[in-house]
Amino acid sequence: MKRTLIRQFALAATVLLGGMAAWGADTSMLRPPKGSKVAIIVFEDLECPDCARAAPLLRDAAKQYNIPLVQYDFPLPMHPWSFEAAVNARYFDTKSKKLGDEYRFYIFQNQTQITKQNLRGMTERFANEHKVALPFVMDLTGDLAAKVKADYQLGQRIPLDHTPTIYVVSDTVRGQPFVEVVDRTKLYQLIEQVMKEAGSNPPAAKTANAHKAAHAQ
């Protein structure tokens, strides 16, 4: 009898804590940038293999539908060089957001060749190719690391449990303003659905090609 009561109490506590966690979730950042009706948001780890696989699809989708791709850093503690790479990306962001995004894509493309020991050399190669002077210490004040940590804390508040975590978000005030992309083959379908709900119809001519591209990933 006592064991049964203990099990029942433990189950009730688990349900209660789970409910509290859900109520405590903060999804306020899952909105498109100002001036955009719809956007893709991804929380990613530059050392995560699945993030590298998702990166071309997300980049192409954003271009296809002319919507922003908002990338948040979520470097996992198990990955030895992902945090440093995220800080490097922030350095290139200071030159231009486009350059920072190109560095992230470069890291994903070369991910399998990168180690903690050669990350600096790979980053210097990227900087040289883009004619950017790389300082000996890229984050002397710690401001760039603080931005990476702030992104990570945003992810914890949602809370996230995997990378990449991908959302299609809108500025709508009706219904759910965001949807998580669990099946990436349905990314384009979800974008179109969210765009229609937000009153922003996708370009009809691009829709068929977009669906083909999604299933090819």
Per-residue pLDDT of the chain (217 residues; tens, 9 = 90+): 434 333 333 333 333 333 333 446 899 989 999 999 999 999 999 999 999 999 999 999 999 999 999 999 999 999 999 999 999 999 999 999 999 999 999 999 999 999 999 999 999 999 999 999 999 999 999 999 999 999 999 999 999 989 999 999 999 877 789 999 999 999 999 999 999 988 877 765 454 444 555 554 5
Question: Per-residue pLDDT tens for 105-138?
Answer: 999 999 999 999 999 999 999 999 999 999 999 9
Angle at 138 between CA 132 and CA 144, to 5 degrees: 115
Both structure tokens of 50: 């699945």
Which helix (H) or strand (E) covers residue 179, if one does? strand 178-180
CA dist., res. 169 & res. 41, Å (int): 7
Q: Where are the alpha helices (DSSP H) in the chain?
A: 2-23, 49-65, 82-95, 97-109, 119-129, 143-157, 187-197, 204-216
Q: Does domain 38-216 have CATH number 3.40.30.10?
A: yes
Q: What does the domain layout of the chain look like in residue ranges?
A: 38-216
